[in-house]
Amino acid sequence: MARIDANTAGPQLGFIGAGNMARSLVSGLIKNGWQAAQLSLSDPEPTQREAVETLLGVNAYADNSEVAGRADILVLAVKPQILATVASALASTVQRKKPLVISIVAGVRIEDIDQWLGGGLPIVRVMPNTAALIGSGASGMYANNNVNAAMRNQAESILRAVGVTVWLESEDLLDVVTALSGSGPAYFFLVMEALERAAIESGLQPKQARLLTIETAFGAAKMALEGHEEPAQLRRRVTSPGGTTEQAVKVLEDGGIRRLFKNAVQAAIDRAREIADMFGKKS
């Protein structure tokens, strides 16, 4: 594919890494009015670059410095175990340009990223989740003190291209976001899996059980999203005294479902902090 001329109005946004999350962000940004000429990605894998250029019509490069050298906003979207190496190699280029850096790399703290990139940079760390791949993500965001109000707006507008965002007052809270919305889809998939299996074992055909499970989950989520009541009140509204739902909920409550979820979230938080410590020690 012929290279797209980058001489266009608006900031240049570069992605280091062209995996699923980066491509989802690029797709969302294009749908929201960004020009392909404003966007570029780098990735060492030829198939990733080909997918970007073929499917999105955006320039992709093998050399990270090609992207970092022109970016006003630089998004780090690589695997956490290689971020130290990738960022350190870009330090001199990034220090010349001084872009706003947005990291969507799980489990790596801003302090370490800033050190690897040479220091003194405006950095926003983001914890997106897999639903961003379909434009329904939920992202927690935290900015260091070098990020001004305009930069915060830029970062938020980029992540809002694939879902909702919330700003956090402390970077430590990103570990809670990781445990809630980052890992959260798996919790709901597990509940759906269990409900589907229970329905099959009670006589429904597998296709029937799956369709009803998925649509029920979707409907409940939509009611919670579009309504004006908290989930506890919605639950009470569908739990008639003496009815079938009350009996089912009682079994879940007696089984300790609230304690299990609390323990599960805490376990994810603890692991997120362990991973951050592990990656940080590579600096």
CATH 3.40.50.720 in the chain: give the residue spans. Answer: 13-174
Between the ranges 9-13, 25-29, 187-191, 270-274, where is the mean pLDDT highest? Answer: 187-191
Other CB atoms within a 10 A radius of the CB of residue 19 amount to 17
44 three-class SS: coil
- 129-165, pLDDT tens digit by residue? 999 989 899 999 999 999 999 999 999 999 999 999 9
Mean pLDDT of the chain: 93
Tokens in use for 156? 């938020």
Cα 1 to Cα 49, 51, 60, 61, 151: the distances in Å are: 11, 11, 10, 12, 32
Asked if residue 38 has pLDDT above 80, the reply is yes
Give mean pLDDT, residues 171-180. 96
CATH 1.10.3730.10 in the chain: give the residue spans. Answer: 184-268
Asked if residue 188 has pLDDT above 90, the reply is yes
Stronger pLDDT, 204 or 132, i.e. the higher one: 204
Domain 184-268 has CATH 1.10.3730.10: yes
Asked if residue 283 has pLDDT above 50, the reply is no
Give the domain 13-174 fold. Rossmann fold (3.40.50)
Give mean pLDDT, residues 186-198. 98
Q: What pTM value is reported for the model?
A: 0.89
* Residue 263, burial from CB neighbour count under 10 angstroms (0-12, 13-18, 19+): exposed
- 117-128, pLDDT tens digit by residue? 999 999 999 999
Buried b or exposed e, range 184-201, using 16+ CB within 10 angstroms: beeeeeeeeeebbeebbe
Asked if residue 71 has pLDDT above 80, the reply is yes
